[in-house]
C-alpha cells in the first residue's frame, strides 16, 4: 500500500506540472466532489460492510459477500443515474448548461469509486489482505498511466477519465479475486447465497459521521473555486498535495491499527490502554509526516520544485497551515477506537462539531474577506476541536 500511496502522490505532482493552474483546479473540484458524492450515494451501505462482511466470511457464508457486493453496486448505480437525471434537469432549468459536462464526469467518478470501495471491502473481509494491497497498487499504476496520458492529450477531462478507468479496472480485478476465493474448495454450499448480512445500524451512524467530515474536506475545492476563483482552486489543490503526505501515512497505518483496536477491546483491554495505543501511533505518524513535510518544504521553496511553487503561489504560511491540518488526520485512529466500543453516536457528535466549525469558518471567510491561508487555519482548528471532542466523549462515558 505504501508504493500505491507514493504513486498517487507522484501523479498529483505530475498533473500539477502538465495542467495549467485553472485546469488543475477544475480537475481537483471534479475529483473531490465525485468522492463526496460516492459517500452520499452509498447511504451507509459500504460503512455497514465494515462489520457485516467479516462476520459473513468468518461464518462461512462467503458467496453472500459476493452477492451482497453485487447487489449494493447495482442499487447505488441506479441511485447515481437517478441523481444525475435530477441534477441535470435542475442545471438545465437554471440555464447552467456549462456544468452539465462536469456533472457527467462527477457521476462517473463517484460510481467508479463506489465500485472499488465495495469490492475492496469484500477483499478486506478475507484472510488474503495482500490482494487488497495489490489492488491498490493496480489502481494507482493504472491511474498514473492513463491519468497522465489523458491530461497530456485532453487536459483535465482526460485526467478525470484516467482516474475513472483506474477505479473500474481495480474494482473488476478485486471482484474476480473475491469470486475465486468464495468458490474455493473450502467455500460453503450455494445455500449461503440466500443469507442476507445482519443489519448493523452502527453503520448508518458511521455513514453520517463520514458525511459530516467529508463534506468540508471534499467540497472545500468547490468553495474555494466559487469564492476565490478557479486559479485559487488550483493553488489550493496543489497545496493539498502536501496534506496528502501525512494523510497517506495515516491511511496506511490505520488500516491495520484500526482492526487491532477492535480486537483489543474484545480481549478486555481498558479504554486507557486503547487510547495510549492510538496516541502512540498518532505521534509516530505526526513525526514521520513532519520529516517528510520538511523535505517537501525544501524542495518547493529551495530546490528543485521552486518553479512549481511559484506557479501555484505557495507561501510559507500556507505550507505551515496545511501541515497542521494534515497532522490532525490522526483523529481517524480515535474513530476506530470509538467504533470498537460501539460509540458510533459519540463519533458522529464529534464529527458534527467539526462540520459546524467549518460552516462558521466558511461564513467568516465570506463575511470578513479572509485569505486562503486563513481558511486553511480554520479547517485545522475545526479538526483540532473534533479530536478534543473525541477524547472528551470517550472518557466522559467510560465504562472500563
- Tens digits of per-residue pLDDT, 31-70? 999 999 998 888 877 777 766 777 787 778 888 889 999 9
Grid coordinates in use for 111? 460510481
Enter the pTM of the model. 0.81
Query: 164: which residues sit within 8 A by CB, 6+ positions away?
Result: 105, 108, 109, 112
Do 255 and 133 form a contact (C-beta atoms < 8 A)? no
Would you place residue 195 in the very low, low, confident or very high pLDDT band (cuts 50, 70, 90)? very low
Grid coordinates in use for 208? 453520517
As a whole number of Å, the end-to-end CA separation of the chain is: 35
Asked if residue 387 has pLDDT above 50, the reply is: yes
Inter-CA distances, 379 with 87, 145, 177, 273, 349, Å: 29, 33, 40, 30, 17
Radius of gyration of the chain (CA): 21
CA-CA distance, 223 to 269, in Å (whole number)?
Answer: 43
- Of 17-21, 129-133, 301-305, where does the model show the most confidence? 17-21
Q: Which residue has the cell 460503512?
A: 47
Which of 229, 253, 314 shows the shortest CA–CA distance to 1? 253
343 phi/psi in degrees, rounded to 5: -115, 45
Which of 350, 339, 330 shows the shortest CA–CA distance to 260? 339
Q: Which residue has the higher pLDDT, 98 or 81?
A: 81
Question: What residue ranges do the domains of the chain occupy?
Answer: 1-199, 201-400
CA-CA distance, 259 to 279, in Å (whole number)?
Answer: 15
Q: Count CB-CB contacts under 10 A for residue 186.
A: 9
State residue 207's pLDDT score: 85
Q: Evaluate the CA torsion angle 329, 295, 23, 11 in order and state its sign.
A: negative
Would you place residue 198 in the very low, low, confident or very high pLDDT band (cuts 50, 70, 90)? very low
- Tens digits of per-residue pLDDT, 144-176? 999 999 999 999 999 999 999 999 999 999 999
Grid coordinates in use for 91? 442545471
Amino acid at each position: 500500500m505504501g508504493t500505491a500511496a507514493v504513486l498517487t502522490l507522484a501523479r498529483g505532482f505530475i498533473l500539477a506540472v502538465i495542467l495549467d493552474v485553472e485546469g488543475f483546479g477544475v480537475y481537483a473540484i471534479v475529483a473531490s466532489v465525485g468522492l463526496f458524492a460516492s459517500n452520499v450515494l452509498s447511504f451507509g451501505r459500504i460503512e455497514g460492510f465494515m462489520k457485516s462482511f467479516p462476520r459473513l466470511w468468518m461464518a462461512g457464508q462467503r458467496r453472500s459477500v459476493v452477492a451482497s457486493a453485487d447487489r449494493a453496486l447495482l442499487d447505488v448505480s441506479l441511485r447515481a443515474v437517478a441523481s444525475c437525471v435530477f441534477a441535470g434537469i435542475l442545471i438545465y432549468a437554471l440555464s447552467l448548461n456549462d456544468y452539465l459536462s462536469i456533472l457527467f464526469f462527477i457521476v462517473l467518478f463517484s460510481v467508479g469509486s463506489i465500485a472499488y470501495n465495495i469490492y475492496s471491502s469484500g477483499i478486506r473481509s478475507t484472510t488474503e489482505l495482500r490482494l487488497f494491497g495489490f489492488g491498490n497498487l493496480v489502481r494507482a499504476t493504472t491511474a498514473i498511466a492513463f491519468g497522465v496520458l489523458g491530461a497530456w492529450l485532453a487536459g483535465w477531462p482526460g485526467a478525470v477519465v484516467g482516474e475513472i478507468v483506474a477505479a473500474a479496472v481495480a474494482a473488476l480485478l478485486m471482484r474476480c479475486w473475491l469470486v475465486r476465493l468464495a468458490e474455493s474448495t473450502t467455500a460453503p454450499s450455494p445455500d449461503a447465497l440466500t443469507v442476507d448480512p445482519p443489519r448493523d445500524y452502527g453503520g448508518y451512524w458511521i455513514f453520517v459521521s463520514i458525511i459530516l467530515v467529508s463534506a468540508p474536506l471534499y467540497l472545500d475545492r468547490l468553495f474555494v473555486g466559487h469564492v476565490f476563483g478557479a486559479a485559487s482552486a488550483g493553488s489550493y489543490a496543489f497545496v493539498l498535495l502536501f496534506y496528502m503526505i501525512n494523510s497517506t501515512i495515516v491511511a496506511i497505518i490505520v488500516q491495520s491499527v484500526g482492526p487491532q483496536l477492535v480486537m483489543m477491546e474484545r480481549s478486555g483491554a481498558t479504554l486507557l490502554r486503547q487510547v495510549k495505543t492510538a496516541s502512540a501511533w498518532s505521534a509516530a505518524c505526526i513525526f514521520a509526516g513532519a520529516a517528510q513535510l520538511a523535505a517537501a518544504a525544501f524542495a518547493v521553496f529551495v530546490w528543485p520544485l521552486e518553479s512549481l511553487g511559484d506557479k501555484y503561489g505557495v507561501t510559507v504560511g500556507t505550507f505551515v497551515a496545511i501541515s497542521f491540518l494534515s497532522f490532525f488526520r490522526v483523529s481517524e485512529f480515535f474513530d476506530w477506537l470509538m467504533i470498537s466500543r460501539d460509540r458510533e453516536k459519540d463519533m458522529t457528535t464529534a464529527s458534527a462539531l467539526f462540520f459546524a466549525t467549518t460552516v462558521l469558518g466558511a461564513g467568516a471567510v465570506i463575511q470578513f474577506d479572509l485569505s486562503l491561508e486563513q481558511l486553511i487555519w480554520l479547517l485545522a482548528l475545526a479538526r483540532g476541536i473534533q479530536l478534543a471532542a473525541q477524547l472528551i466523549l470517550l472518557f466522559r462515558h467510560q465504562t472500563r
